[in-house]
Each structure stands twice: as C-alpha cells, then as structure tokens.
C-alpha cells in the first residue's frame, strides 16, 4: 500500500506544488502585463505617428518608428518631376541615399514619384519628429517616432520577456505532459524501430509480421503522448501572441532595432553606418532569444523530449 501511494505521489505534482505553479504563472503574467500595458498607459506618450502631406506631395516609410542609426526606406509621390530631393528630420538636414545605386541623392521620376530612397535616422531623443521631403516647389511631410526605449534597455526587455515566456511554457509543460510516460514511449518507439530495421535487413518475414501487428499499438501510444504537447501549444499560443503584440507596440513596432551584433548574419542582421556593427530587429532578436533560452530551460527543468 505504501509503495502504491509513493508511486502516485511521484506520478504527479502535489496540491502544494500545484498552487506554487499557479501562483508563479499568475505572477509572471502580472509582470508582463505591468511592463507592456500598465506602464505605457501611465507614462507620457509621444505624439501619435501619422502620415500627412504638404503641397499635395505624399511620403511614407517602410517603418515609421525606429532607433537612431537605423536605415529607413522612403517612398514619395505627387512631387515635382525630375527634381533632386532635399530632406529634414525635425530641424536637422537628412542625407538621402539611393539604395540601388548608392548615389548620395534621390531624384523624382517623370511622374513626381521616388522609391528606393533611404536615410539614416539621426541622433535624437525619443519623441515624434516631422520628416519633410522637398522637390522644387513641392513638399511632403510625415511624422517619424524615435522609441522611448533604445538598446541596451530594449535588448534586456526583449531577452527578459523571452525568458519569462519560455519559463511559463516549461511550467505548463510540466503540469500538462506526463514526462515519464513520454520518455517511456520514446524509448519504446526507438526500440521498436531498431527491431524493425534489424528484421528488415535480416529479411525475417515472421518477425516483421509480428512487428506489424504491434505497430498500430505503438503509433496510438505515440499519438496519445504527443497530444499532451499539443495541449501545451493550445494553452500558451494565444497568450504568447498577445504578449508579443504588446511588446512590439511598447517598443515601437515589429521591425524596430533592439540589439546589435558584430557578426554579419544574412537576413537577420542589417548593416549600419558604423563599420563592424549590425542591427537586429525585434522579430529576429526575440526569435533567437526564445530559441536559446527555451533549449536551456527545457534541459534545466527536464522537459526536453
């Protein structure tokens, strides 16, 4: 009787540990909500970023919020045709660059439009700034926002958030998934597959027939255990998306730069004006942080399959 009770205790968390896990989950979510909902609500906000126009010209950016040093692509229309553009960022003069040819100027086409033009966000404190493009007697104005939090603060915020979300996922995994059963199932599947390979190589028809009868039972057991992992995804997927959306809104957008690297990484890290320094956007830094820390947390908490 005692051994049976002991096995039952080992098979699942006690009432006290369940409460601790629940309190931990609630506490972690409160921290995230405080960071990304309460703090932005009570903190002073910069002017809302909107696209405007002047003298009938129109201008837009690939992102209307980013840190100083980020490269911004410009698209404009309804300006004077066949004219070189000049630009200002607040009161500062902007150097425009043709991203295709590398020329240090941009020029409107015969329809008064321009694309493939870029500028580097100048050094500026957080807030909203007017960016004005002028071509002869026409101009266009749009607002551009420098986020409140810049690297390394934004780097730490994104990394911490990825760690917290990873920890929540691992805690839910320990609560929902029978890890011992999962390990036994994987061992059984590996043994079955090894036995099947050996029988196939040996052309042992009798053994293969016996294994074929067992195969359905093994697959059903594998599916049963895998469903528990799917439950974890179902429980955590929507909250994680919500937190990611709030984090992006809080920091200035999905493509805002939040980290730097000295290593050029295709697609992930973009070049900056400073030699040997490359930008990493929120999307990629969050992905890299989540991958790295999820792996470490899984091993630390023994939830890795």
pLDDT at 15 > cutoff 70: no
- Closest by CA to 69, choosing from 276, 281, 277, 273, is 273
User: Cα 178 to chain center, whole Å?
Assistant: 29
- Closest by CA to 270, choosing from 153, 102, 259, 63, is 259
In the chain, the percentage of residues whose pLDDT exceeds 70 is: 82
User: Residue 52 in contact with residue 141, Cβ under 8 Å?
Assistant: yes
pLDDT at 42 > cutoff 60: no
Q: Does the domain formed by 53-146 have CATH 2.160.20.70?
A: no
pLDDT at 9 > cutoff 60: no
pLDDT at 170 > cutoff 90: no
pLDDT (average), residues 150-175: 89
Considering the chain, what is the average pLDDT of its residues? 82
User: Residue 145 in contact with residue 139, Cβ under 8 Å?
Assistant: no
Sequence-distant (6+) residues with CB within 8 A of 240 are: 165, 169
Sequence-distant (6+) residues with CB within 8 A of 114 are: 74, 75, 76, 77, 79, 85, 106, 107, 108
- Closest by CA to 297, choosing from 165, 99, 203, 125, is 165
Domain boundaries, the chain: 13-41+151-300, 53-146
Q: Looking at residue 213, what is its pLDDT? A: 82
Categorize the per-residue pLDDT at 37 as very low, low, confident or very high, splitting at 50, 70 and 90.
Answer: low
User: How does pLDDT run across 78-120, given as a tens digit for each residue?
Assistant: 999 999 999 999 999 999 999 989 899 999 999 999 999 999 9
Rounded Cα–Cα distance for residues 170 and 154 (Å): 24
The pair of structure tokens assigned to 42 is 């009570």
pLDDT at 31 > cutoff 70: no
């Amino acid at each position: 009787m005692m051994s049976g009770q002991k096995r039952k205790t080992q098979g699942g968390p006690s009432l006290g540990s369940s409460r601790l896990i629940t309190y931990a989950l609630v506490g972690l979510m409160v921290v995230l909500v405080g960071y990304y909902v309460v703090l932005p609500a009570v903190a002073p906000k910069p002017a809302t970023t909107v696209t405007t126009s002047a003298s009938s010209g129109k201008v837009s950016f690939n992102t209307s919020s980013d840190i100083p040093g980020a490269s911004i692509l410009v698209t404009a229309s309804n300006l004077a045709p066949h004219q070189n553009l000049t630009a200002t960022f607040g009161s500062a003069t902007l150097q425009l660059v043709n991203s295709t040819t590398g020329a240090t100027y941009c020029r409107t086409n015969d329809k008064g439009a321009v694309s493939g033009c870029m500028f580097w966000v100048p050094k500026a404190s957080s807030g909203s700034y007017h960016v004005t493009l002028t071509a002869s007697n026409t101009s266009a104005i749009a607002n551009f926002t420098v986020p409140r939090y810049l690297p390394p603060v934004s780097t730490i915020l994104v990394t911490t958030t990825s760690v917290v979300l990873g920890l929540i996922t691992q805690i839910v995994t320990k609560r929902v998934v029978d890890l011992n059963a999962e390990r036994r199932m994987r061992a059984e599947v590996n043994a079955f597959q090894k036995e099947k390979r050996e029988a196939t190589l040996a052309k042992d028809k009798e053994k293969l027939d016996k294994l074929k009868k067992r195969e359905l039972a093994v697959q059903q057991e594998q599916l049963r255990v895998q469903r528990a992992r799917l439950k974890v995804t179902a429980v955590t997927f929507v909250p994680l998306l919500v937190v990611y959306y709030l984090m992006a809104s809080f920091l200035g957008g999905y493509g805002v730069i939040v980290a730097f690297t000295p290593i050029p990484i295709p697609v992930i890290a973009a070049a900056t004006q400073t030699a040997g320094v490359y930008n990493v956007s929120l999307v990629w830094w969050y992905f890299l942080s989540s991958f790295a820390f999820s792996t470490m947390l899984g091993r630390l908490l023994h939830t890795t399959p």
